[in-house]
Amino acid sequence: MIWVAIVIVVLVVIDIALVTLALGRTAPNSGDPAGPIPTFSSSPQSSTSSSPTPSASAGAADAASARRLLSAIDGKEAWRASSTSCSGDKPVLEHSVDGGATWVAVALGDDVRALTGLRATTSGVSILTAVDDDCALTVRTSTDDGATWSAGQPGAAGAGVRDSALQLQSGLVDSPCADPVDAYQGQYTTLVACADDIAWRSGTGSWVTAPIGGIQSITDAGDTYTLARTGAATCAGAEVVSLPAVKVSPTSAVSPVGCWTGGASSGPVAIDLAGKSLWAWSGDTVAMSADGGASW
């Protein structure tokens, strides 16, 4: 039986040696760097976003809109949108920082039904919107490029056109014509473009009408207004003209500035002036003039 005891002792010794070897392989060495800590992550199965889809475009509402909105900050940055009614498609607001080469859609609140006014400055961008089921007009302002919106000051988004009414800084007023195409309210004067004429007033005075037709868009040039006009015999496209900003009378006339042949000969056309840079938007084309519209 002695040989049996010897075999048992040998087996015990071998077993102890194997356990010691295993512990030596798995135990950390005090001189070795610590290994990585395992981490675990899970991805949601689905997600939603309030951002517009990449295919959204401000030009998508053209069929239901006779007015475009364009507001430039400088020669590189501008905002644009198609003016829509509450019965039309959801409005799309877009932002460009490369001179109009590319446009990025900006998310609006889910309650926004229409967009009728737009004005951008170096401090932020303001929009005049119709919200909720009753399409109540309200001004909203963003100072972070449209990431968030807050209540804006009256008039911050400029003048708005809604059916046959104008939304001015003082509130909603009757339009001087039944078919307003565009409106601009400055610090002292207001100008409205109608189908066959323009209407002007100083402050809250009486409207003065002049037979100047075809005006599609109005922008402020200081002592004068710069206008985009279509249907002119002298321009196969969108004609840029100038009108004095004060003392408009029934005999007032526009002065030619230039001709944008890339623009549509019938609307909608939008322009905006930032310094000497005149932005213009027609169809799928955005162009810029470095000399206020004289050349393109």
CATH number of residue 251's parent domain: 2.130.10.10
- List b or e across 89-128, with b for residues whose CB sees 16 or more CB atoms inside 10 angstroms: eebbbbbbeebbeebebbbbeeebbbbbbbbbeeebbbbb
Element (H, E) at 12: helix 2-26
**How many CB atoms within 10 Å of residue 207?**
15
Element (H, E) at 114: strand 112-121
248 within a domain of the structure (yes/no): yes
79 within a domain of the structure (yes/no): yes
pLDDT given for residue 131 in this prediction: 94
Residue 145 and residue 60 share a domain: yes
Residue 250 and residue 219 share a domain: yes
12 within a domain of the structure (yes/no): no
Residue 184 and residue 287 share a domain: yes
Residue 108 and residue 140 share a domain: yes
Residue 127 and residue 191 share a domain: no
Domain count along the chain: 2
pLDDT given for residue 58 in this prediction: 63
45 within a domain of the structure (yes/no): no
Tokens for 259, please give them.
């001709």
193 within a domain of the structure (yes/no): yes
Residue 207 and residue 113 share a domain: no
pLDDT given for residue 157 in this prediction: 96
From the CA atom positions of the chain, what is the Rg in Å? 33
209 within a domain of the structure (yes/no): yes
Going from the C-alpha of 265 to that of each of 14, 162, 213, 216, 269, the distances in angstroms are 99, 24, 13, 11, 9
Concatenated DSSP letters of 207-270: -EEE----EEEEEE-SSEEEEEE-S-TT-SSEEEEEEESSS--TT---EEEEEETTS-SSS-EE
In whole angstroms, what separates CA 107 from the centre of its chain?
9
Residue 59 and residue 91 share a domain: yes
131, 115 in Cβ contact below 8 A?
Answer: no
Tokens for 206, please give them.
């009486």
Residue 263 and residue 229 share a domain: yes
Residue 283 and residue 215 share a domain: yes
Going from the C-alpha of 278 to that of each of 185, 218, 223, the distances in angstroms are 19, 12, 16
Residue 142 lies in domain: 51-158
Tokens for 73, please give them.
């900050």
166 within a domain of the structure (yes/no): no
Q: Among candidates 225, 250, 239, which has minimal Cα distance to 293? A: 239
Tokens for 158, please give them.
């400029």
pLDDT given for residue 54 in this prediction: 36
- 201 Cβ contact partners less than 8 Å away, ≥ 6 residues apart: 176, 189, 190, 207, 208
- List b or e across 6-23, with b for residues whose CB sees 16 or more CB atoms inside 10 angstroms: eeeeeeeeeeeeeeeeee
Task: Determine whether 44 is exposed, middle or buried from the number of CB atoms within 10 Å of its CB (0-12, 13-18, 19+).
Answer: exposed
Write out the chain's pLDDT in tens, 296 residues: 444 444 344 444 445 444 343 434 333 333 433 333 232 222 232 222 333 433 346 654 444 456 899 999 999 999 999 887 888 788 999 999 999 999 999 999 899 999 999 999 999 999 999 999 999 999 999 999 999 999 999 999 999 998 889 999 999 999 999 889 999 999 999 999 998 999 999 999 999 999 999 999 999 999 999 999 999 999 999 999 999 999 999 999 999 999 999 988 887 999 999 999 999 999 889 999 999 999 99
Final residue belonging to a domain, choices 128, 158, 188: 158
